[in-house]
Homo-oligomer: A and B are copies of this chain.
Amino acid sequence: MPTYTAPVKDIQFVLHEMLNVADSDIPGYADMEADFTNAVLEEAGKLTGEVLAPLNVVGDHEGCRLENGVVYTPTGFKEAFEQVKEGGWTGLDMPEEYGGQNLPYVLSTAVGEMFSSSNQAFTMYQGLTHGAAAAILAHGTEEQKNKWLPKMVSCEWTGTMNLTEPHCGTDLGLMRTKAEPQDNGTYKISGQKIFISAGDHDMADNIVHLVLAKVPGGPEGIKGVSLFIVPKFLVDDEGNIGARNGVSVGNIEKKMGIHGNSTCVLNYDEAEGYLIGDLNKGMRAMFTMMNEARLGVGMQGLAAAEVAYQNAVDYAKDRLQGRDVTGVKNPDGPADPLIVHPDVRRSLMDQKSFAEAARAFILWGATMIDEAHRKGDKDADGLVSLLTPVIKGFLTDEGYDMTVKAQQIYGGHGYIEEHGMSQFTRDARIAMIYEGANGVQALDLVGRKLAADGGKHVMAFFELVKNFCKENGEDEALKDFIEPLKKASKDLQAAGMYFMQTGMKNPNDALSGSNDFMHLFGHVCLGLMWAQMAKAANAALAGGASDTEFYETKLATGRYYMARRLPATGMHLARIQSGGDTVMALAAENF
């Protein structure tokens, strides 16, 4: 059975040596001293490693089941959910007035990685609740907030997000679910929603569905969509649970992975709903927290890669197969461990150098979200908005590939379900799809974010890279980092230039390169993260840190990324610059 050990030290390194969070003037950051975050992370590490990780395969094997309209979660989920609630893990970054702890988003993100790594399907029950609560927090009336939030923050009641319908996912303007206004100010919601994660289950007393629907007579398409609170059970003014509302589970989907999460078809039949936010502004309300939600999914790409990597390393050290070509390493054994083989190391280094830089990227992104929310910094908001599709799209694409690589280390033992490596890839696959499929992320990046505010934010990013390179260009200890970063950043700028020159004339030229641009951008970001981590590691070594091995390992892992992963930027640039002609050449019937 796979195991999980929370990478507390690596997270602490990013928080305190690269991002220096405790020195930041973002409100709440001064409290994040290393001892404090370490205590939080250690505690979360214990819970996730000892309680949630062992349930991961259970969830996969058993799945959820629907019996007489009731959804049952896998063995042990309910008890574990109680432990999570009791530990106060469900409202880390929520306001104290609703029972949360008001901790910075960056710290809840660090904890979130552990939850995702240990048990993605399980973690989604609280993850969706968090998303729904965040929308109510941002757009609900005081009454709505007081009524729903305390129980959602504690996960006594969980939440869901209802967007997709059978005929529409990305293009929500096609939505058919209706909300008929009633005389008492409520609405009757009718329609079918599909792919509703955590849509129903037996772990909470109530479920608060956030549902997008159209009020008849409103504007056509996406402009006529509103957002509603639709509880599974009606709740009276004192907060007491009453009658069952008109929402029922049509089915639980059979999926490739995340079996432990109940992905439901929900049928709404004149269910009572309450408008949240403004009429016909449902998309805005649903997407207010988009950067956080998408960063959270990008984090799942990292989380899957991390746990798969950990198990691949264990197996590579343990499994004896073949001999080191440069000389026997395990003379007393019948063979050497897999880890002696260069191609096994190549794969492990791909994984390791990805996971560590992805973590830095995500936590850096989370600090910008904190800066935007807690300080009202518009530049931080602009930059993280630009980077969000990269975080979501690139990290989930790559994260998935890394789980495939980890699985490959196991050979045939990775293909059978016994060792759990197949589950990591099957679970990781969804992150490329939900919360905006990665093609939509690439479109968002190239079609919208790149030119937002006159291109100000992408210029800020380039400036940031340029300044880092300038400030550290003379540092001999960083030369393996600065030169490759400069080269990669030049490729990114050339791609951006190409889009600017051609995009107006022929949008297809730009959009044909959107996926490549997202990946090119992602590599530059991870390259920047490695350069910054290398600088931090050098500083620690220069400062006489005792754990030299830790810092030397950081530097060696970073050098690998710069030498072996970053050259991908040239390929992406060449593809982008080849334009849209070859992409768009065929008539649809000739495919």
Residues on A lying within 8 angstroms of B by beta carbon are 164, 167-171, 173-174, 194-195, 253-257, 263, 313, 316-317, 320-322, 325-326, 334-335, 337, 339-349, 352, 400, 404, 407-408, 411-418, 422, 425-426, 429-430, 432-434, 437-439, 442-443, 447, 506-508, 511-512, 514-515, 549, 553, 556-557, 559-560, 563-564, 567-568, 570-571, 574-575, 578, 580, 582-586, 588, 590-591
Q: Are B437 and A408 in contact (CB under 8 A)?
A: yes
Add 9 more A-B contacts to A167-B320, A341-B439 (CB < 8 A): A254-B416, A254-B417, A257-B415, A339-B591, A342-B511, A408-B432, A412-B434, A563-B582, A570-B574
Q: Are A348 and B591 in contact (CB under 8 A)?
A: yes
Q: Which residue of B lies closest to A480 (CB)?
A: B582
Given A343-B443, A349-B583: A418 and B512 interface contact (C-beta under 8 Å): no
Given A416-B253, A447-B325, A584-B345: A567 and B563 interface contact (C-beta under 8 Å): no
For A404, list chain B residues within 8 Å (CB).
400, 429
Q: Are A254 and B588 in contact (CB under 8 A)?
A: no
Bound: A511/B567 CA distance, A: 19
Q: Which residue of B lies closest to A508 (CB)?
A: B342
Q: Are B417 and A433 in contact (CB under 8 A)?
A: no
For A425, list chain B residues within 8 Å (CB).
256, 429
For A335, list chain B residues within 8 Å (CB).
171, 173-174
Given A254-B417, A571-B571: A168 and B343 interface contact (C-beta under 8 Å): no
Q: Which residue of B lies closest to A560 (CB)?
A: B582
Q: List 24 A-B contacts (CB under 8 A).
A: A164-B412, A170-B321, A174-B335, A253-B417, A254-B416, A255-B417, A325-B511, A341-B511, A343-B439, A343-B515, A344-B439, A349-B582, A349-B583, A407-B429, A408-B438, A415-B429, A415-B433, A425-B429, A556-B590, A560-B582, A560-B585, A563-B578, A564-B583, A567-B571
Given A171-B321, A321-B170, A511-B325: A342 and B584 interface contact (C-beta under 8 Å): yes
Bound: A417/B321 CA distance, A: 36
For A418, list chain B residues within 8 Å (CB).
253-254
Q: Tell me which of B347, B407, B574, B582 contacts A567 (CB under 8 A).
A: B574
The minimal Cβ–Cβ distance linking A517 to chain B, given in whole angstroms, is: 11
The minimal Cβ–Cβ distance linking A439 to chain B, given in whole angstroms, is: 4
Q: Are B585 and A342 in contact (CB under 8 A)?
A: no
Bound: A181/B292 CA distance, A: 68
For A438, list chain B residues within 8 Å (CB).
408
Q: Are B553 and A507 in contact (CB under 8 A)?
A: no
Given A583-B345, A584-B345, A590-B553: A426 and B174 interface contact (C-beta under 8 Å): no
The minimal Cβ–Cβ distance linking A556 to chain B, given in whole angstroms, is: 4
Bound: A591/B337 CA distance, A: 14
For A568, list chain B residues within 8 Å (CB).
571
Q: Which residue of B lies closest to A421 (CB)?
A: B256
Q: Are A564 and B580 in contact (CB under 8 A)?
A: no
For A169, list chain B residues within 8 Å (CB).
321, 411-413
Q: Are A408 and B433 in contact (CB under 8 A)?
A: yes
Bound: A567/B560 CA distance, A: 22
Q: Tell me which of B411, B447, B549 contacts A433 (CB under 8 A).
A: B411
For A170, list chain B residues within 8 Å (CB).
321-322, 411
Q: Return the 5 tightest CB-CB contacts between A and B, nearest first.
A: A567-B574, A342-B511, A256-B422, A563-B578, A556-B585
Q: Are B408 and A439 in contact (CB under 8 A)?
A: yes
Bound: A346/B563 CA distance, A: 28
Q: Are A564 and B591 in contact (CB under 8 A)?
A: no
Q: Which residue of B lies closest to A552 (CB)?
A: B590
Given A254-B417, A418-B254, A433-B408: A512 and B585 interface contact (C-beta under 8 Å): no
For A339, list chain B residues within 8 Å (CB).
588, 591
Q: Are A412 and B195 in contact (CB under 8 A)?
A: yes
Q: Are A174 and B412 in contact (CB under 8 A)?
A: no
Bound: A326/B447 CA distance, A: 13
Given A171-B335, A335-B174: A508 and B326 interface contact (C-beta under 8 Å): yes
Q: Which residue of B lies closest to A256 (CB)?
A: B422
The minimal Cβ–Cβ distance linking A526 to chain B, given in whole angstroms, is: 15
For A411, list chain B residues within 8 Å (CB).
169-170, 433, 437
Bound: A352/B164 CA distance, A: 29
The minimal Cβ–Cβ distance linking A509 to chain B, given in whole angstroms, is: 9
Q: Are B553 and A514 in contact (CB under 8 A)?
A: no
For A345, list chain B residues within 8 Å (CB).
512, 583-584, 586
For A407, list chain B residues within 8 Å (CB).
429
Bound: A487/B582 CA distance, A: 19
Q: Which residue of B lies closest to A319 (CB)?
A: B167
Bound: A164/B549 CA distance, A: 38
For A317, list chain B residues within 8 Å (CB).
588, 591
Bound: A559/B316 CA distance, A: 41
Bound: A445/B580 CA distance, A: 35
The minimal Cβ–Cβ distance linking A101 to chain B, given in whole angstroms, is: 33
Bound: A511/B345 CA distance, A: 10
For A321, list chain B residues within 8 Å (CB).
168-171, 174
